[in-house]
Structure formats: C-alpha cells, structure tokens
Structure 1
Amino acid sequence: MYSRFSIENDPPGEAATPDELKLRRAYGYPYIAPDRDFLFLRGDAAPFDAGVDLSSRQPVIAVGSNRAPEQLRRKFGDGPESEIPVTWGWMHGYDVVYCAHVAGYGSVPATLHSSPGTDVRVAVTWLTAAQLERMHETENVGESYVYGTFEEAAVDLGSGRPAVPAGCYITRRGALALDGVPVALTEIEARNRRFASLAQVEKLALLYERHGDRPGLEEWILSLLGDENHARRSGLAAALSESTVAFEDPRFTVLLG
C-alpha cells in the first residue's frame, strides 16, 4: 500500500518525475527540521545566533510543516527579508494531531489539541509584522484555520525568551478522529502521549481505504492536488467532518478567522 516515493531516493542516473516529486511532498509532511534552534537564512537552516533580537518579533507556534526549512522556503523564498529565527519549546497538556482535511499539496496537515498529561515539542517561528501577514495568507486563515494567541503559561518558549503570548493556527474543521479520538502525528515528539499516532504515509493510506475513489493510493492523492481539484478536497473534507473533535481551550483567544 505504501509508495516507494515516500521512502526512497532516486536510483542512480534516474531523476524523479513531476508526479513522483508531488507524491514525495505529500508523504513527506511535516518535513525534516533541525533538532535544535536555527536561523532560517537565505532559504536554508543556519546556526542560531543567540544574540538575535526577538523582542520586536511575534512568536508563532509551528506544530507542523512551518518548522521545516523547505516549507519556509516555499512560503518566504530565499531573499534577505525572509530571515526567521526558529526555536524549540514545549507545550504542556497538548498534542499535535491530524486535521480533518487534505492540503492542496496532498498531505493531511497538523493542528493542536488538548491532551491532559502530554508534553509536546513544538517549534516557534519569530516573525516580523510583514512575515506574519504572509504566514496568514499561506495558512488560508478564515477558511482552513483561525489564528489566535495562547496565554503565556501555555507554552514554554525557553529560558531568556520574551514572555509574550504565542500565536498559533488552529484548524476550523476540527481534529480528525478515529473512534471519537484524535490521532497524533508519529513524526512529532511528545512525552506521555495518550493518543494513538500514525505517520503521514499511514494516515493517507487509511483515508484512501475509507474514501478513495481511484484505482490506487497514488492516483487518488494526485487527483486531490492543486487549485483545480479544490472541489474534490472540499468533498473529502465534508465526508471527514462526520468524525471530528472540535478544539476548545480557554487559554486560546481567536484573533482572526
């Protein structure tokens, strides 16, 4: 059931086809990220500068792909204005789970959900005002996500970091549930995880088994990609809405969406 495109590099002398590259992007979410603080600089990860001024930037929690240099490069490019400090922190009483929709590039994206007793490791992007506006655009605020802030005590930004409310994008569609319970992302580190977890490739395979309308998994994923297949993704989201769990948390204040 699982595709070689999610686990193999190109054989020697062979370049990936356009469809193979699309499938790798779908399966690869939430993408590879450095395990320590870094500076997104000129489109790639550079060593973190402890002297960088964070006081004028808004911390925004990255629960999924926004922690990864390759996704930040897609969103912000590689120019000098795209410099973004990315640090790591912990949220206590939460986990990172799957949303009840499929993104335009074929992945099932992530969202936060309450999980008493669980500690989940999250990245934090420190954005300028202009970068925050751009991030709102890429997160499709108002349709796919709402944007808001958590109370300061909800996230541990690390010692020496400004004690300010951290922003976050929360799905409008709810967490995708199995038997009434959200499903965590295996790729995201957590302590005392209470939810069952699946890797992205496993989650896509499961959705295909339940909702696929093409002869094979890969053909089905490709049929969901891009603006031209927005209606198909919307139809799938409507079907998934029958098994969702809403996010409710008094420590989170919605600002947009």
Structure 2
Amino acid sequence: MEPHKEAVVEDVVDRSAQGQASQDDAPRLARAKGYPYPRPAASFCFVGGEAWPFPDFLWRGMPSMTQLQVQLPTEEFSSVSQALTARGIDPASLPPAQEWTPVLGIGSNGSPEQLARKFPPSQFPQAVIPTVRCALRDFDVVYAPLISSYGSCTATLQHSPGTSVEVALTYLTPPLLERMHATEGAYTVVRLTDIHLALGVTPQSLQQGKSARTVSDHVLVYVHSDGTLCPPFAPNGQPVAIKEVPAVNRQFQALTQTEMQIPVRIAKDSGYV
C-alpha cells in the first residue's frame, strides 16, 4: 500500500460525502468507487491497452490463441494473428504456449481498465494477455481487509461450498507475470489445487446446462495476506461478497463497492481494519 496516496483518496471521499469534492477529484473518486471495474460480457485478448472480445466457447487453449476470431475496437472481426501483425507485433515472436502462466483475476485484474493501468501501452506496447471467463466452483469473491492506495475495498477469494463464481483467467508471459507480482503488494500468490475451474463458461451458463470444454483442477491466484474481512454487521460474522462479481448460489451477504465503503471506512477509523 502507499499511505500517502490512500490519504489523498480518503480526503476526496470525505469531501464528496460533504458535497465539497471538486471536478479535479472526479476521476480519483470514480476510480475508488468503480472497483472491480467493468468487464466485457465475453472473454477477450488484452493487447496494447485494448480489449478484443471473443465468444467464450471459442477458447481452445494457448496453442491456438493466435487463430481466435476477435472483435476489434473498429467493430471489425479479425484473427488475433492478423490483428497483431497490423499493430506491428509479429505473432511468431510470442513465447510458446507452455511459457504462459495462467493466473486467476478475481477482482480488478479481470477488467481491461485495470489491466491498462498495470500494463500501460507506453511501457508495455507489445503486451498480449488472453483473458478467459471461467466459473470457479465452491468459492466466492469477497472483500479483503484492505482499503487500496486508490481508495477501493479490494477482493480476495473465500471457500464457499455450493457457490459458483465468475472469474477471469489471465495468461501471462514471464515479464508480464513479474510485473503483475509487483502490483500486488498486500497479496500473496498461492496455488489452488483440487478445484473445479470451468474455462470458457460462466456460472449462469453452467446452471443452464452448458458444459465446459476444459476444466482445470489447479491454478495460481492472488489472495490477501490477512485473509478476508468479516465485519460485525455481516450475518454470523461471515465475509461479504462483492456484488459486482456474478455468482450462482451465493451463500454470503453481497454488497456493492459503494455500499461497502461506508462501514469499512468506519471500521478502519476505529482500528478494526
């Protein structure tokens, strides 16, 4: 965390609550309240700051990634290979499939907006990050005991038998994985095993009877080092799920980012967080 930035954002939130926030504060306030940020209603390839959506069911794994048909910002459709070439990226220069590491994005890392912050085109002009919508069984995405440097209540993962939650599987090359590690200060990367991660489907589509072509029983994910936030107002002192993250058969109370910020900030001021 970066305390000086956090203090600035909290001051913005305070002044907003009092009706005193200026127009200059608006972007920072929007960022604080916007977590976990919008995601396309599909899987996508993140390339040079852009999200190129593709239907979930087209995902066949990294070996065929460059053959995916994606929708470009111009609304045109193209193969990833052709689109990369048009942007000056040689598809043949990409690492082989086995060198990409799949890592779950449970919160903001599944959003192109946050990926653009972590991998700005000016620093990572050739960043290519395939991002696949998935359904993770028996877990939920809940709030962590953290107010981020930009003023948001952030996410972590919690075991939740019977729940299926929507997550994003990001594929990272070694340099991009190193960069992602560097952006996850309060988090620890762990390896989940004996899980059921259905690739290229959502919890809702699974509930409707659609099956996944690929299911993984292990994956890397960032979880908060201090566990989950279990506020006193939650039923039985349980974690609170992030309402913006879709799930089926959710067991925990769910609140939006803006709903959660008020009690969390009160708890933080009292020393609970």
Letter in 1 for 2:43: D
Percent identical across equivalent pairs?
37
2:129 matched to which residue of 1? Answer: 84
What are the equivalent positions in structure 2 for 1:32-71 lying under 5 Å apart? Answer: 32-48=38-54, 50=59, 51-52=64-65, 54-71=97-114
2:261 matched to which residue of 1? Answer: 204
Letter in 2 for 1:239: Y
Supply the distance in 1 between the matched residues of 2:229 and 2:130 (Cα, whole angstroms): 31
What are the equivalent positions in structure 2 for 1:36-185 lying under 5 Å apart? Answer: 36-48=42-54, 50=59, 51-52=64-65, 54-78=97-121, 79-140=124-185, 144-151=186-193, 153-158=195-200, 159=212, 161=214, 163=216, 165-179=218-232, 180-185=237-242
Aligned-residue CA RMSD (Å) = 2.6
> Any gaps of 5 or more consecutive residues in structure 1?
6-15, 213-235, 241-257
Higher RCO structure (Cα 8 Å, ≥6 apart): 1
- Choose between structure 1 and 2: higher helix proportion: 2
SS of residue in 1 equivalent to 2:149:
coil
Q: Cα deviation per residue 1:49-99 (whole Å; 9 max; x = unaligned)?
A: 853165431110001000111110111112442110000111111000000
Letter in 2 for 1:71: Q
Larger Rg: 2
Supply the distance in 2 between the matched residues of 1:210 and 1:136 (Cα, whole angstroms): 28
Supply the distance in 2 between the matched residues of 1:156 and 1:173 (Cα, whole angstroms): 28
SS of residue in 1 equivalent to 2:29:
helix
With 47-56 and 108-117 compared, the bigger mean Cα shift is at 47-56
Match of 1:25 among 12, 31, 34: 31
Is the CA contact (8 Å cut-off) linking 1:96 and 1:188 kept in structure 2? yes
Supply the distance in 2 between the matched residues of 1:86 and 1:29 (Cα, whole angstroms): 18
Name the TM-score, length of structure 1 as normaliser.
0.71
Supply the distance in 2 between the matched residues of 1:162 and 1:122 (Cα, whole angstroms): 14
What are the equivalent positions in structure 2 for 1:216-231 lying under 5 Å apart? Answer: none
Q: In the superposition, relative to structure 1, how do residues 24 and 169 fare at CA in structure 2: closer, same or farther (>3 Å)?
A: same
